[in-house]
Amino acid sequence: MKKRIKKMAALMLPVTFVFLLAVSCFAGEAKENSAAGEPSTSSGSDVLVVYFSRTGEQYTVGVIDKGNTAIIAEMIIDRTGADSFEILPEEDYYPYTYAELTDVAKKEQNEKARPAYAGEVPDLTGYSTVFIGAPVWWGDWPMICYTFFEQNAKALEGKTLIPFSTHEGSGLSGFDSKLSSVCPDTTVGKGLAIRGNDAQNNQDNVQIEVDNWLSELGFQMGN
Ligand SMILES: Cc1cc2nc3c(=O)[nH]c(=O)nc-3n(C[C@H](O)[C@H](O)[C@H](O)COP(=O)(O)O)c2cc1C
């Protein structure tokens, strides 16, 4: 039975995880790249989940149809009844193969690129809490997330932002402190870091972790 969680009260202080990962490459079959869906919104909730996630060939999990971060985003949406907005590149030039993707992402990072995203961000006025999730790319948020942060920093003022990551060793990788820097005048709540491989292959345990985290944040089980 689908469980819902209602927002209750205060949020925990941010915790910063900074680890290094030697991102290695592995071989795999190439096929056409696919972004994971359309931006979606619905009304009636004061919680929004914003996320970026890739399908295709990913580290340790092979070729996936649903991105690791998307899986976590869906768990949060399911439990909180939140609205959602998926950050999708306006022009999807990200390669399908993992090795090529790491090269493109590194170049973007070196150049401090701000790739454009598609679609209209929902009116943020009515949301008090915004979960924001992404894969760790080279120890940081993917650059397209910074596009989102910078373009919406003003509209996010006064809100509680809760970061979540998927990764393969780097944890939250400073997502929380970086979010605070780029979105000042917000409250950044305790983040969650989940291994991408667990998001794909260990979902029962991950669901428990997500539920515990939501409880800690002040969400409680409702009907
Ligand atoms: C370009 C790129 C860079 C990555 N850099 C890191 C990293 O620095 N640290 C880490 O733990 N994982 C790193 N990873 C692994 C991803 O964070 C991990 O596979 C994630 O779960 C992918 O999520 P997604 O399917 O939602 O895109 C990297 C993956 C890619 C594609």
Question: pLDDT tens, 66-115?
Answer: 999 999 999 999 999 999 999 999 998 999 999 999 999 999 999 999 99
Q: Identify the pLDDT of residue 222.
A: 52
CA of 9 to the centre of ligand 1 (A): 32
How far, in Å, from the CA of 212 to the mean position of ligand 1?
24
In a domain, 26, yes or no: no
The reply to whether 159 falls in a domain is yes
| Max avg pLDDT among 24-28, 56-60, 219-223 | 56-60
Examine residue 115 and state whether it is found in any structural domain, yes or no: yes
Asked if residue 100 has its Cβ within 6 Å of ligand 1, the reply is no
Predicted model pTM: 0.85
Name the band, by pLDDT with cuts 50, 70 and 90, for residue 22.
Answer: very low
Q: Is residue 27 part of a domain?
A: no
Residue 28's pLDDT band (boundaries 50, 70, 90)? Answer: very low
Band (pLDDT 50/70/90 cuts) for residue 17 is: very low
Percentage of the chain modeled with pLDDT above 70: 79
Mode of pairing for the β-strands spanning 129-135 and 47-51: parallel
CA distances from 200 to 72, 86, 203 (A): 10, 19, 7
Residue keyed to tokens 């961000």: 121
Residue 41 scores a pLDDT above 60: no
Into how many domains does the chain fold?
Answer: 1
> If you take atom 9 of ligand 1, which residue's CA is the nearest one?
170
CA-nearest residue for atom 7, ligand 1, is 138
pLDDT in tens, 43-57: 579 999 999 999 999
Position 44 scores a pLDDT of: 75
Is the residue at 34 inside a domain? Answer: no
Phi, psi of 171 (to 5 degrees): 65, -135
CA of 135 to the centre of ligand 1 (A): 5
Residue 155 host element (H or E): helix 143-156
CA distance 81 to 4: 6
Nearest to 135 by CA among 199, 208, 201: 199
Q: What is the mean pLDDT of residues 196-210?
A: 98
Task: For residue 165, give its domain range.
Answer: 4-19+42-222
The residue to mutate among 137, 145, 175, having the most atoms of ligand 1 within 8 angstroms of its beta carbon, is 137
Atom of ligand 1 nearest to the CA of 98: 31
CATH number, position 69: 3.40.50.360
CB 77 within 8 A of CB 50: no
In this predicted structure, what is the pLDDT of residue 7? Answer: 53
Please check whether residue 133 lies inside any domain of the structure.
yes
Is there an atom of ligand 1 within 6 Å of 80 CB? no
Asked if the structure places residue 33 within a domain, the reply is no
Q: What is the pLDDT of residue 12?
A: 41
Going from the Cα of 218 to the center of ligand 1, the distance in angstroms, rounded, reads: 29
